[in-house]
Structure 1
């Protein structure tokens, strides 16, 4: 089920530890690895302990599914708790960013700090050569012998955006068995081999929040600070529940009445605790021709040269043609050919050179 260019092709039987989440993608990944002759060990990662017994948490169901998959595929499985590492390295950052008025992406940090650091360290200690996950991404080796991170072949499912903070060491130790496979084929394989979760719904949202109401969750950890919503001209049009509950470009949940086009969040005035709102999706304040990013991370461990690339400023968007103006003193400056909509501080800008994911940084 892999071609000659795949890192799985012709592999020798050695130990690979695969992260089994209970979902169909990681399950098929484990099956493909076993078919390739690897000595496969499954690991179910418990990254969150709070609220494990409430209606919104799926950890018990997921762990049962992972165990059932391991049994059917014919591999051993271990349940490993990374909840402390997750709380220290991911959740604390998540809360600090929201408290500062930004909108973080915890999935990006989880991949870099938990799935490809804490989990990788654990796997190496178990004698593994590499780890594998069900991400839709791929790798190859360039002319200099460096491992490159590639988009998944299924453009609709490509998850390289969430993996851009992986270092050269991390990506060189990773296998992505689904890199050249489309999601419908993954479902077909799962049904064909009788996986009990072959029709299981894909998980959505932030893992520790799940399907629970987002505002209720944040309010348990951060105090509410209500204030006013105003236009750029200073007209007060409504009240907000707290700046942390809103993100740039947000339309839903503003509860602003009156005639005219829909209202959108355009900015936050942290000093005054005011939410700046505008009418119309094409309002100039929602369109940014340039951005600055920090906390940079490059897959090759060295930054690319200034020049022409494409970039994403959020996961669900088409690539945008851009020019990297400079990468100096840990700061990336990017100018887009066409202004980008709702560029959001705290989110990630990720650079691409064709299929190759180069890395990126946190939008300032």
Structure 2
């Protein structure tokens, strides 16, 4: 009897190829597309924006028809607003920089959507992520980087739990993006030449500041831009409109380039300083999820990545009270940002990770 696999189909090249490859391998394949937002990238409730939001659903349906597989649409709009969009806006409002994919993956894609897939009788759940899952000799499942280091998405998947990994198939982990495009063209997929989106899926024009002004205006209070020595250099229109490490757009004049060092929501201050003050020798993280083992009991040497796309920095992660950890780097890291995730690697294996708090 054929094993049944549900593919999270976004209407893009990656997930469309996944469905194609798994069908070729002999699986019974079904496709599921998530409906996450009425506004889509327009976020303006116009007929044009709603039409644009439905393009991904229509493209996924076209691919499903081409492959001769069943296709379903899962409406997660309410959950997505609460778990991802509200979280995204609230984190910025509190002076932190969120990562919506890190929030979405365990709760929506590998949470609610996986449950939906299982309700439809699927044995496995597949996505177009560029990462790999392997099982060791003890039966434990591990998460590994994708072969294509430029496309590797393991960072955004680190919060997936051990008991979920065993249900997941990631066919593109062994591929480069170039290979994916080549195969999509070879199979004649109707979306083979579809452009790839780079911005956050629900942020129009990648402008989170406009979203804050519209949906969280109460968090934008004018205040002072202050040098690390305490000197007031200028004024801001709201702490959440700035990010750690930012240089441009500060609207201040000084004898040397200055960068955002700290966002102080208590004092309503944006603190700036010279480049060297943006580097940190250590950080504290919480809400840990460990994949290589169940619990961190003693300090270990790791490579740590402090944001998506950042280079890994060697350091030591040590357990603290209340499930927190301290990471001490061999070399200071630039723009360590509260709200972002720090993810730990041992070679190409994801050891675990957590949310940076300070």
TM-score, normalised via structure 2 length: 0.93
Counterparts in 2 of 1:240 and 1:356: CA distance versus 1, 3 Å? same
Deviations 1:187-240 (A, max 9, x none): 111112222222222112222114253211111221221212111112222221
1:340 aligns with 2:333: yes
1:228 aligns with 2:216: no
Runs of 4+ in 1 over 6 A off after TM superposition: none
Asked if the contact 1:349–1:362 (Cα under 8 Å) also holds between the matched residues in 2, the reply is yes
SS at the partner of 1:302?
Answer: coil
> What are the ranges of 5 or more consecutive residues in structure 1 without an aligned counterpart?
1-11
Asked if the contact 1:151–1:355 (Cα under 8 Å) also holds between the matched residues in 2, the reply is yes
2:91 match: 97
Task: Give the Cα–Cα distance (whole angstroms) in 1 for the partners of residues 255 and 55 of structure 2.
Answer: 47
Counterparts in 2 of 1:201 and 1:252: CA distance versus 1, 3 Å? farther
Structure 1, 36-45 or 201-210: larger mean CA deviation: 201-210
TM-score, normalised via structure 1 length: 0.91
Task: Give the Cα–Cα distance (whole angstroms) in 1 for the partners of residues 113 and 198 of structure 2.
Answer: 22
2:138 match: 144
Asked if the contact 1:291–1:333 (Cα under 8 Å) also holds between the matched residues in 2, the reply is yes
Task: Give the Cα–Cα distance (whole angstroms) in 2 for the partners of residues 161 and 189 of structure 1.
Answer: 25
Asked if the contact 1:306–1:327 (Cα under 8 Å) also holds between the matched residues in 2, the reply is no
CA deviation after TM superposition for structure 1 residue 301, in Å: 6.4
SS at the partner of 2:61?
Answer: helix
Which aligned pairs between 1:156-175 and structure 2 lie closer than 5 A? Answer: 156-175=150-169
Structure 1, 151-160 or 228-237: larger mean CA deviation: 228-237
Task: Give the Cα–Cα distance (whole angstroms) in 2 for the partners of residues 266 and 79 of structure 1.
Answer: 44
Task: Give the Cα–Cα distance (whole angstroms) in 2 for the partners of residues 64 and 53 of structure 1.
Answer: 19
1:48 aligns with 2:37: yes
Task: Give the Cα–Cα distance (whole angstroms) in 2 for the partners of residues 15 and 320 of structure 1.
Answer: 41
SS at the partner of 1:329?
Answer: helix
> What are the ranges of 5 or more consecutive residues in structure 2 without an aligned counterpart?
none
Task: Give the Cα–Cα distance (whole angstroms) in 2 for the partners of residues 154 and 196 of structure 1.
Answer: 24
CA deviation after TM superposition for structure 1 residue 96, in Å: 2.5
Pick one of 38, 51, 63 that aligns with 2:27: 38
Higher helix share: 2
